[in-house]
């Protein structure tokens, strides 16, 4: 038995052209609440096509602004601002069921089924908060390009000094 999906196609070129946003094999992903079949990803109005969407998203995600603020996003999603007082101060609180079942939670046998169903329904409808990975603030990203520029300038100056000495 062979699959029409080929793992070797998962290369850099395929990820950049936006093909993965298209349901090119007409897979049945179901029907939305408004009776419209789920198909291709609906692109925002500012994207001309899939390739343009990927290009613009990469520009945004690789921008200096994102690099300077990425640590703040990590703190909200995976870090110390995900739960507790820091989450409250950051307006980053969600329904308690989206955090999963607390470690110290004990279900009763009679209510276990209803509790499990409630938890699964909440997660299916609204998603689940990822596990908290960090309890301390994330370090701000250092700019590799700035360091490379400094090293390149220093290297150039060293080479100029060597040439003068010869």
- Chain centroid to Cα 20, Å, comes to 16
**Is 119 within 8 Å of 97 (Cβ atoms)?**
yes
Note the pLDDT of residue 1. 40
pTM across the whole model: 0.55
Q: Percent helix, strand, coil in the chain (nearest 5)?
A: 50, 0, 45
pLDDT at 38: 92
**In whole angstroms, how far apart are CA 142 and each of 19, 43, 67, 89, 139?**
33, 33, 8, 26, 9
Per-residue model confidence as pLDDT tens for the chain (166 residues): 444 444 455 555 556 788 899 999 999 999 888 999 999 999 999 999 999 999 999 999 889 899 888 889 889 988 899 989 999 999 999 887 788 766 666 665 556 777 778 778 888 888 888 888 888 887 776 555 554 555 556 556 555 555 555 5
Residue 35 pLDDT: 92
pLDDT at 114: 79
What is the pLDDT at residue 52?
93
């Amino acid at each position: 038995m062979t699959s029409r999906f080929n793992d070797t196609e998962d290369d850099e070129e395929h990820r950049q052209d936006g093909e993965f946003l298209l349901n090119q094999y007409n897979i049945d992903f179901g029907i939305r609440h408004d009776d419209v079949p789920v198909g291709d990803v609906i692109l925002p109005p500012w994207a001309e096509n899939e390739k343009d969407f990927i290009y613009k998203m990469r520009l945004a995600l690789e921008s200096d602004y994102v690099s300077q603020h990425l640590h703040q996003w990590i703190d909200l999603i995976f870090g110390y601002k995900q739960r507790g007082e820091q989450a409250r101060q950051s307006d980053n609180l969600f329904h308690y069921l989206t955090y999963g079942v607390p470690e110290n939670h004990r279900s009763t046998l009679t209510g276990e089924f209803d509790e499990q169903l409630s938890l699964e329904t909440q997660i299916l409808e609204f998603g689940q908060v990822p596990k908290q990975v960090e309890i301390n603030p994330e370090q701000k990203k250092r700019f590799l390009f700035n360091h490379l520029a400094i090293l390149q300038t220093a290297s150039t100056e060293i080479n100029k000094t060597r040439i003068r000495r010869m």
